[in-house]
Amino acid sequence: MECCRLTAEQIRTFAEDGVLVVRNAIDTPTRMRLLEAGDRLAASFLKQSEEKYLQERRDFIQQDAFFDLLAHGPTVSLIIQLLSPNIHLQSAGMIYKHPESPGTEPGARGWHRDIGITSDLGHDQLPLVGIKVCYCLTDFHGPNAGLTSVVPRSHKSGKPLPVHDGEFGPRNAKDLNLNAGDAFLFENRVYHSATRNLTNRTAKVLIYGYAYRWMKPDLNLDIPDEALLEKADPVARQLLGGYRSVETVPRALLDWAAAHDVCTERVPWVVDGASGEPVEIIPRY
């Protein structure tokens, strides 16, 4: 996996907004390959117009085109630098949306935070534990183009999301303006929701979620079989959950980080009482 280093501006933007746009994250040949694979999975959905929304998760990562995006350098290397090498794939899938008539009554919006830990920890105790990357297979220009809507800076709010009477969403919600091939990252504490597709074409996106390895994978993420793990390189194998225990050192991405001189800072178990310098120890259980 290639390494794309985070810039100081990207670090600042993500820290402030909880959202980061990556322009030209996938090139045209890759995007066309992904579109072909996505359209094949969505063939029955694309042939009709009654159902407006398709989310495909089962048997998703097993498709060669989607498997190859698992360790995509222009985005995943950024996520590793923002989280740590101790991560795996937590969710993955694709979303297709047919156009809706502007006169159609809008449904309820599902504003939420990801990974489902809010009910246990409360809004004011939420940590950063995961980041999703959304790849645009089609253009998303302007509001109500079918892309996920986000509330920048909501990761800093330790409160429920305020939505005023008679309004479809919070006043600071943002529909990103992105081109096909662009991507954006958003962290688990950022409020987001599906948007309507009022354009004249089917909206198509892929979403991959990465989290610390001690976060349980999504229920809809298929457990990789041995055939899938066998064709994976060490980095992809770790991301697929190839290490059975979270106590196993995440060697693949630690080695990758060392080779590219990123994520070099370590959290010590013990420091010298006088100097404060880390003391190397081997934890024993």
Structure confidence by residue, pLDDT tens digits, 55-94: 998 888 889 999 999 999 999 999 999 999 999 999 999 9
User: How much is the pLDDT for 202?
Assistant: 97
For residue 68, the enclosing domain spans 8-279
Residue identified by tokens 């979303």 is: 95
Q: Kindly report, residue by residue over 173-185, the tens digit of the pLDDT.
A: 999 999 999 999 9
Residue identified by tokens 């309507």 is: 196
* Residue 158 placed within a domain: yes
Total structural domains within the chain: 1
* Residue 238 placed within a domain: yes
pLDDT tier, 186 (very low <50, low <70, confident <90, very high otherwise)? very high
* Residue 168 placed within a domain: yes
pLDDT at 105 over 70: no
* Residue 1 placed within a domain: no
Instruction: Kindly state the DSSP code that residue 150 receives in the 8-state scheme.
Output: E
β-bridge mates for residue 208, sequence order: 92, 133
The CATH number of the domain holding residue 194 is 2.60.120.620
* Residue 3 placed within a domain: no
User: How much is the pLDDT for 200?
Assistant: 93
| Amino acid making up residue 272 | D
* Residue 285 placed within a domain: no
* Residue 227 placed within a domain: yes
Per-residue CA distances from 14 to 24, 92, 143, 152, 153 (Å): 18, 22, 22, 9, 9
Mean pLDDT, rounded, for 246-250: 90
Lowest-confidence segment of 166-170, 213-217, 230-234 by average pLDDT: 166-170
| Positive/negative CA dihedral, 34, 242, 210, 12 | negative
Residue predicted with more confidence, 271 or 253: 253
* Residue 88 placed within a domain: yes
Mean pLDDT, rounded, for 223-228: 80
Mean pLDDT, rounded, for 193-209: 94
User: How much is the pLDDT for 198?
Assistant: 93
User: How much is the pLDDT for 141?
Assistant: 95
User: How much is the pLDDT for 209?
Assistant: 97
State the burial class of residue 275 (Cβ atoms within 10 Å of its Cβ: 0-12, 13-18, 19+).
exposed
Q: What are phi and psi of 159, to 5 degrees?
A: -135, 165
Average pLDDT, the chain: 91
pLDDT tier, 285 (very low <50, low <70, confident <90, very high otherwise)? low
